């Protein structure tokens, strides 16, 4: 018996460790724009849209009016000085299994589309359906990202309760829960307790443990 009809994935912190990739782009863009060192990244902003993160960094130095400028410059730096993120365990095993079993899956991320495209290409990942922050009117924690992905994969609203969503952030977990789907936590940023409190039904260290769980109980 298959435990879910479909599997949706966040990207940063679930498929890859991209903290260095994003961090260096934010720092270099901030330095170019303001000639200042950037503030440390706040954990509270994990999984939030890049525009909200840009607004935070600008607010630290009282330059909120330049939020969009920083957002677009960071995206340029992320592409121009692209650093391949580190692939997390279990991704290839998971996508091979889902492809073999003909179970729909895809990525819905708050990261920008160019970064997702570059990463999928350079890591040779098997994710044919990928959505980024530019695809949504309301990014996570709104449910739009996961609803859009699910509908694109052919699911109806009545199927949502049987769709698993892998998330490492409280922002994304809230989005999955609001979409009426099943949030599954990955503890690359938050603890079991924090993710479960946010709505995660199950929690795993990485996708590898989730894959092992599924192959034991589902396939």
Kindly report the pTM of this predicted structure. 0.88
pLDDT given at position 219: 67
pLDDT tens digits, one per residue of 147-191: 999 999 999 999 999 999 999 999 999 999 999 999 999 999 999
Q: Which residue has the tokens 């530019």?
A: 134
Average pLDDT over residues 108-131: 94
Pairing of β 105-108 and β 6-9: parallel
Percent of the chain with pLDDT over 70: 99
Name residues whose C-beta falls within 8 Å of residue 62's C-beta, 6 or more positions apart in sequence: none
- Check whether 1 has a pLDDT greater than 60: no
* pLDDT at residue 99 tops 80: yes
Average pLDDT over residues 37-66: 92
Helix H or strand E encompassing 158: none
- Mean pLDDT to the nearest integer, 96-119: 94
Using CB atoms within 10 A of its CB, is residue 158 exposed (0-12), middle (13-18) or buried (19+)? exposed
How many Å apart are CA 160 and CA 14, to the nearest integer? Answer: 20
């Amino acid at each position: 018996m298959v435990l879910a009809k479909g599997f949706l994935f966040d990207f940063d912190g679930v498929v890859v460790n991209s903290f260095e990739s994003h961090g260096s782009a934010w720092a270099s863009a901030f330095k170019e724009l303001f000639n200042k060192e950037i503030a440390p990244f706040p954990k509270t902003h994990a999984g939030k849209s890049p525009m909200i993160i840009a607004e935070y960094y600008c607010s630290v130095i009282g330059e909120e009016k330049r939020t969009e400028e920083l957002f677009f410059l960071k995206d340029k730096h992320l592409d121009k000085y692209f650093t391949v993120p580190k692939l997390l365990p279990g991704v290839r095993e998971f996508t091979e299994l889902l492809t073999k079993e003909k179970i729909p899956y895809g990525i819905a991320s708050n990261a920008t589309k160019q970064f997702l495209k570059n990463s999928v290409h350079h890591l040779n990942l098997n994710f044919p359906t990928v959505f980024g922050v530019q695809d949504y009117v309301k990014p996570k924690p709104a449910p739009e990202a996961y609803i859009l992905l699910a509908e694109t994969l052919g699911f109806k609203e009545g199927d949502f309760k049987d769709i698993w969503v892998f998330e490492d952030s409280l922002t994304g977990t809230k989005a999955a829960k609001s979409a009426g789907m099943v949030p599954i936590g990955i503890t690359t940023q938050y603890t079991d307790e924090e993710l479960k409190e946010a709505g995660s039904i199950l929690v795993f260290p990485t996708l590898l443990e989730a894959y092992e769980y599924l192959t034991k109980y589902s396939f």
